[in-house]
Amino acid sequence: MTEPACTVLLTGASGVVGQAVLREAPGRPVRIVSMARPGGTALPPGHDEVLGADLTRPRFGLDEDSYAALARDVDTVIHSAGLTEWGLPYERYKPANVDGTRRVIEFAEHACATVHFMSTAFVAALFTDAPHQLSDTNVTMNYVRSKLRSEQMLRDSGVRYTVFRPTNLIGDSATGWTSRGQIVQLMSDWICRGRAPFIPVHQGNRIDIVPQDLLAKAVLRAVELGDDGGSFWVTYGDEAMDMERAVEMCVKHASALGRTLGPIPVTDPDALDPEALLRLPPLARSYLSVLRDVSEVTRCSGGVLPTSMPELRARYDVPHIQDTDAYLRTLEYASAHLS
Ligand SMILES: NC(=O)c1ccc[n+]([C@@H]2O[C@H](COP(=O)([O-])OP(=O)(O)OC[C@H]3O[C@@H](n4cnc5c(N)ncnc54)[C@H](OP(=O)(O)O)[C@@H]3O)[C@@H](O)[C@H]2O)c1
């Protein structure tokens, strides 16, 4: 058993990323205190150190003594909690994502702790030098604004921190496992059932999805190394598959299940007729509009998301995993467990 070298407060422990971090942690020299919201998603059994706390409340809702004791104990915060659903007004994101990060910063100041913040690769779409401007109506807009605001607050604070900017995550690279089905898994499963009449993706866009264990490994290694600076795009960048390859993976997976997928046209999202969308069944309408908006986010980065993958491999031992192989594992897992 490796002696813990540091104590980590993990916010958002019940979330997809939090669960992936907890799966990767055993055997590493870290002790993890998992923050879970009272009344929120229960953590699976096996986590002894669970702290009931809420980011939207002063001192995380803890009494003064418990907060001070926590600050004495903790050296590092992995800040993964937040409201991640898309399509909500900015005011809905502010309490958990913006004010919550402010409280994490206050706590880090108190504890002299380093913060590793889980942002999103989508912030690139809001950079002033982005090749295209993201439309105000994009479903991810307010969520991304709240993440960018958090990054700014960290930058302006005096605390030591790193920022990890993952693209959309998929299941574990070896097994496809995820604690909860997310948009990529659910939508891909829908496509593999032959339900998508077309796929709205801008020409030339890469389909950049990353297995969740790669992010978890990178963050934990950053903690072990005591890193306290840098921002990392957890993306494949120009190694990411194109749309044709993604569709090929879906066809291959469907065929392994004995299904024959007809050709799926890839269409220009900007030419999408809103009236035609309205005539589709609600699930198709919702998935296709999300696909259109996610495609717009990638297009804002010129079709290829920025990446730090070479650096993550070199410094944080992130394994070389082909995204198409990981995507197939995710499709298999989604068909077996999330359908
Ligand atoms: N998953 C991805 O594809 C992806 C991609 C890019 C960036 N990210 C970023 O990575 C982080 C983690 O994402 P995720 O997929 O793990 O999200 P998630 O599955 O939605 O989990 C969010 C976590 O935050 C917790 N939380 C929400 N409000 C809270 C509050 N007021 N106080 C304390 N905890 C609160 C949730 O608790 P309950 O379960 O009790 O609600 C849950 O544990 C997020 O910041 C997200 O922006 C994720």
| pLDDT band at residue 45 under the 50/70/90 scheme | confident
Q: Which two tokens stand for residue 117?
A: 């913040």
Mean pLDDT of the chain: 95
Beta carbon of 267 within 6 Å of any ligand 1 atom: no
Residue spans per domain, the chain: 6-171+208-239+304-319
Which residue has the CA at smallest separation from atom 13 of ligand 1? Answer: 17
Read off the pLDDT of residues 171-188 as tens digits, 9 standing for 90 and up. Answer: 999 999 999 999 999 999
Alpha carbon of 17 to ligand 1 centroid (Å)? 7
Residue 151, ligand 1, Cβ within 6 A? no
Nearest protein CA to atom 43 of ligand 1, as residue:
12
Nearest to 108 by CA among 83, 74, 81, 82: 74
What does the alpha-carbon distance between residue 253 and residue 249 come to, in Å, rounded to a whole number? Answer: 6
Ligand 1 atom with the smallest distance to the CA of 17 is 16
How is residue 16 written in tokens? 């997809």
How many angstroms does the Cα of residue 259 sit away from the middle of ligand 1? Answer: 35
The verdict on the CB of residue 303 being under 6 Å from ligand 1 is no
CATH value of 6-171+208-239+304-319 in 3.40.50.150, 3.40.50.80, 3.40.50.720, 3.30.450.40: 3.40.50.720
pLDDT of 1 over the 70 cut: no
Q: Phi, psi (5° rounding) for residue 323?
A: -60, -35
Q: Is the CB of 168 under 6 A from ligand 1?
A: yes
Q: Are strands 241-242 and 206-207 parallel, antiparallel or unpaired?
A: antiparallel
pLDDT in tens, 253-274: 999 999 999 888 999 999 888 8
pLDDT on residue 2? 60
